[in-house]
A = this chain, B = another copy of it.
Amino acid sequence: MGRKSLSEARTNEILDAFGRCIIKYGLDTSLEQVAEEAGMTRSIIRHYIGNREEVVNTLIERVTHDYLNTLQRLGDGIPDEKLIDLLLDYLFGGLPDYDAVDKLILDILMTAKNRYPVAKQRLRDLFTHIITLLANDFQRLYSHNTPDKCREVAYGVLCLAMSNESFVWIGMDAQHHVMARQQAIYLIESLH
């Protein structure tokens, strides 16, 4: 008996709203404001997720999971010669269904640092995974390079992608997307 649980749906609405708030106001947006953005009361947030720390951790959990997942499945069924292009499109925002939100959130979450130790750990894991993932692709495509060299380039590409996102976000002209992508290509070409 009793009624159907809305837990999953509500949780998603809350995290979505929180994400939008973070983009607009930063990680320290009050739960009150998040509730307003989501069109619900703070009590509901408390009911479905919990206190502030739990909300933050839940969000980071979701965002990092989704990001890695998307990146992992990106190459499925794609011929090798198109893989690099696709990866770059994703990392530098040229993809049609590209979800800006996730990357923006990631960028902002970098400020979680000491205040949210779980977040810090999660982000480190995420970036480490991304590097490994990219490095593996490079290794397969340009197999005469050492694993270390592949990792180095992967790290470089990731740096370019992340910074670029931040820069464009503070209002530097979108042209920079193209520049960053081009620099990433130079790095990858050093593997040829």
Please report A residues at the B interface, Cβ cutoff 8 Å. 24-28, 107-108, 110-111, 113-115, 120-121, 123-124, 127-128, 151-153, 155-156, 158-160, 162-164, 166-167, 169-172, 176, 179-180, 182-183, 186-187, 190
Q: Across the interface, do A127 and B172 meet the contact criterion of CB distance under 8 Å?
A: yes
Q: Is the interface of A mostly helix, strand, loop or mixed?
A: helix
Say yes or no: A155-B128 contact (C-beta < 8 A), given A113-B169, A166-B162, A186-B187.
Answer: no
Q: Across the interface, do A172 and B124 meet the contact criterion of CB distance under 8 Å?
A: yes
Contacts of A171 in B (CB 8 A): 120-121, 124
Say yes or no: A115-B163 contact (C-beta < 8 A), given A170-B123, A176-B155.
Answer: no
CB contact between A115 and one of B26, B151, B153, B158 (< 8 Å): that residue:
B26
Most chain-B Cβ atoms within 10 A of its Cβ — which of A107, A159, A162? Answer: A159
Contacts of A180 in B (CB 8 A): 155-156, 159
Give min CB distance, A145 to chain B, whole Å.
Answer: 13
A120 to B171 Cα, complex, angstroms: 8
CB contact between A183 and one of B127, B156, B176 (< 8 Å): that residue:
B156
Q: Across the interface, do A190 and B186 meet the contact criterion of CB distance under 8 Å?
A: yes
A173 to B114 Cα, complex, angstroms: 16
Give min CB distance, A149 to chain B, whole Å.
Answer: 9
